[in-house]
Structure 1
Amino acid sequence: MAGLVTAALTLAAATSPAAPAALAEDTRLRAADPGSTLHIGLSPVKTAHDLLAGETLTLTAVFTNRGAVPVHARIRYADALVRSPARFEFQEPGGEFWSAGSWLEADPEEFTLGPGGRQEITLTVAVPEDTPDGQYYAAYFVEASSPGGGTDGSAVEIGGSLAAVVCLYVGEHVVRSAELVPYHRVPRPAGAPEGLAAVRTALVHWWRCLVIADRNVAFISEGHPLKVFVPIENTCDAYIQPRVTLRFYEGDVLRREVVYEGEIIMPGLSKVMEIDWPGPPLFGRFRLDLHIEYHGPEPIEAMRSFWVVPVKGLVGLVLLAFGLGYAASGRGRVRSTRGRPPAAPGTR
């Protein structure tokens, strides 16, 4: 999956390059001179490939310098360890049986790039002949520093690094499997709401969002953009990269088709793919057909139908009818009072 990670690194005195603790984290340092920043990018940050033992693969990555100072960069290789759907840990290659960091070789491994520059990096992945079948993870860091100091001539230097992960499945016969799971089974991401905020979020999802697993929302208030939540779990020993096709029907008429390229999901992990409905649905009956391809034996198919009810409009009509009825009853009372003969003196 191609992607761009950028880091805004601000010049600070006597700072050495530091490896990030997780993939795709930005590194930001406080500056003595706020106008002096080092802005670097790396793309792609995660790729996945099927290889055989003894096979070689060539990849291309792009490193960019969007800042105002030149940078000196060098490549460092590492093993990647999956800790969660969004978090990797890195260590020196060769320490584990699944080590694949030593399979990487970059060209060039060291270079200097001026402001606004762009450097292509050719990455070669060479799988050893005797590699057992299985899932392997490799990573490489582009470590950058500002060799010339700040733009104001101050003798300062900063550094940071960006990581990219290469997921590899080695083997001739790859059997992949995946399934849709209930929304609550997917681990919550870091920083997810807790307490009352979590309850509120769950209620909002329950009311406004069509959840593709075990249930569907029957009525959705008009005027709100609809999100389709697709919770999918990788139930095999190899990575999967889902490709989701959503077909939106109004009644029985196809209105839109959306294709969504999902992120790579590691073995045994699950992820919720959030897909926006292209425009708020109006009043009526709708149907959504879901088709997921992930290089498994058969695609995942699902269908959900729902109604969109103009809740605000209905409430307005009820209030209007109540008001008209109340006004009509008031006029009737006035007319009946006017039609009565005046009471005789001394009587009630």
Structure 2
Amino acid sequence: MTKLAKPLAVSLGDPAGISPEIICDAWTRRADGRLPPFFVTGGADVLKAAAARRGLQVPLVVIDRPTEAVEAFADGLPVLGGPDGEYCPGEPDESGARLALASLTNASALVVSGQAAAIVTGPIAKSQLAKVGFAFPGQTEFVAAASGVPADDAVMMLAGPQLRTVPLTVHCALSEVPGRISIDLIRRRAAIVDRALRQDFGIAAPRIAICGLNPHAGESGRMGREEIEIIAPAVAALRAEGIDATGPHPADALFTEHARKTYDVAIAMYHDQALIPLKALDFDQGVNVTLGLPIVRTSPDHGTAFGIAGTGAARADAMIAAIRMAGEMAARRSGL
């Protein structure tokens, strides 16, 4: 178990999804999961109902300040007093979205102000949040703004036991990807990844593999020239800067077992190129990590799963992995 002077802040996520129940499940497995103390921002009634629905014995300890969570954690799941609501699994609505947003806002503020060691965000439904004024593409951009970091400097990394991947472009149409990638974007994102792997993951000399965009990495220009005109020059520039980058690699071979041994992270050109291999290999333990922030932020790499919420089918492994990873990253930043 990671030793931290401050607890982690966990946002509730959408109360109609699986987040409340897997947060409760994570607390019951805190010892086996080697989890540091954490608290949830708001939603005490939702958490109580979610635990009961799942058949979990989870005493709740309502706290007034984050500092109280460390001592309370052994006796119950600490919940910071605040907004609450009804537990209606599988039935998302605007009141639940408001609760999710209030929890996310509070958790982010507590971490930015130094009252919590890191933030772990529960899954939200962006379409629901948009109805209550959420103007961000996702939680990554929200937390970046709360941290005072431009969205372009907040890098999404998906991390599991077998693979780490970074999508260069994220939530955009596939048709837009060729126009969005550039030498500068690859260089900036790779530099952020390199620093984060050193600082937060303890990798002294990170190896970064960079995917091609086209099949067979363009096959010497026969299937596109992005590899020749953008990706290869970016790799050369990174190597000149002292970053151990290689590529462009054909994406269809880069994620095989033997290839994964040759790098510490793969930078993909678009969303699915990064997420499909990660979810195929590490779906139940995949963690979404935001790199490039002055704070530590992680999240389970899955969605709200409204269809199975409240049925007991949802697994808490990714939430446990996200909490554990946040604690480990925060400990490294604190020099522990």
Please tell me whether Structure 1 or Structure 2 has the larger radius of gyration of its CA atoms.
Answer: 1
Q: TM-score, normalised by structure 1?
A: 0.27
